[in-house]
Structure 1
Amino acid sequence: MLTLGGDHSISLPLLRAHAAVHGPLALLQFDAHTDTWADDDPTRIDHGTMFYKAVKEGLIDTARSVQVGIRTTNPDTLGITVIDAPWVHDHGPRATVARIREVLGDAPVYLSFDIDALDPAFAPGTGTPVWGGLSSAQAAAMLRGLAGTRVVGADVVEVSPPFDPTGATAIAGAHVAVELMCLYCAARRNKGEA
């Protein structure tokens, strides 16, 4: 399933549904924030805690998970590999994809793309923009470079058109969604399900 959403907290019920079918998933998250803030209140789910809760529920295989484009600090990675935006800028999309593939292996992957992974110059229409992010060209190269990974589900979240009267953020989100559909279809074709 590819889900187009608002608040990133929608990833938690989506992960629950996909993990019910595929077992614990590798998470591939493109984002400015890790969204793994600890919270001991089991009733609280928001766009900063949902992956913490997913890890605690056993939905995510942290040893096979990667967060890309991170630009904020959360000292507890929960065992998830973090490839921050400066690393991507220094090493480029090709090296980033190689590192992502190394961590994911052949695990079933849930790919979550928060539009704030992109720098606000490319996607200003989001609730928590952080400068120094990925360019549209970097994101496109990385998503295309991931062809063949076992993507079983994905989302594009945090696109807020009212915050961007130019429409650039919605256009970027639509392009990301198309790339995610291509990844999913390629994974099914490689598995012989197409």
Structure 2
Amino acid sequence: MKEEEARHMTAVKELADAKIGRSRMAKIIEELKAEAREIILGDVNRCLEEAEARATKVAEEKDDLATMNAQLVADHAWMRDFGVANVANVILDAPENTDAVAKVVECAREAGYNAAYTECLTHVNALSAKKFTDDRCALHGVDTEAALRAATEAYDGLIVPDLAQIEECLDADDYVDRLQTLFEPKKNVEGDGGAI
């Protein structure tokens, strides 16, 4: 009986040890589960933060693109509505241009007058016994064709100083802003649409 009691005691002890072992094992498993949850939650949170950062960056880039697009549309509208007309006015209103055009017109008139006078003489002389000359013509001895060529060449080589400012603006990335700065003060001062 002592033997049976010893076996029974051993079994009870083993059972108690097994319960303690199972309890320790359960505690270790719970700790590992908690640690695994923390690791998984940390990984998930990190992935979430990275995804949110990427989403924020994409949203900011989208906003930047929308802003850039709106600016490009506004710049295009300003150039269409005001910029091109201002550049044309700078050229058309430049004293150098108006003087050169006036000179070409004057020389063209004189060349036309001289050619018409000469042609008229040809017709009159064909019908008349007396031969007439161009001695009485205001342009007698003047090479009006050469003067017209010279005036035309001078116009073709014309330099408008104000265009240098415009070209400088056009070479810049922010050319519309620069052109607006160049033209707008003139518009307010002169009230003529912004010509330089």
TM-score bucket (shorter structure): under 0.3
Larger radius of gyration: 2
Q: What TM-score do you get using the length of structure 1 for normalisation?
A: 0.20
Higher strand share: 1
> Does 1 or 2 have the higher relative contact order (CA < 8 Å, sep 6+)?
1
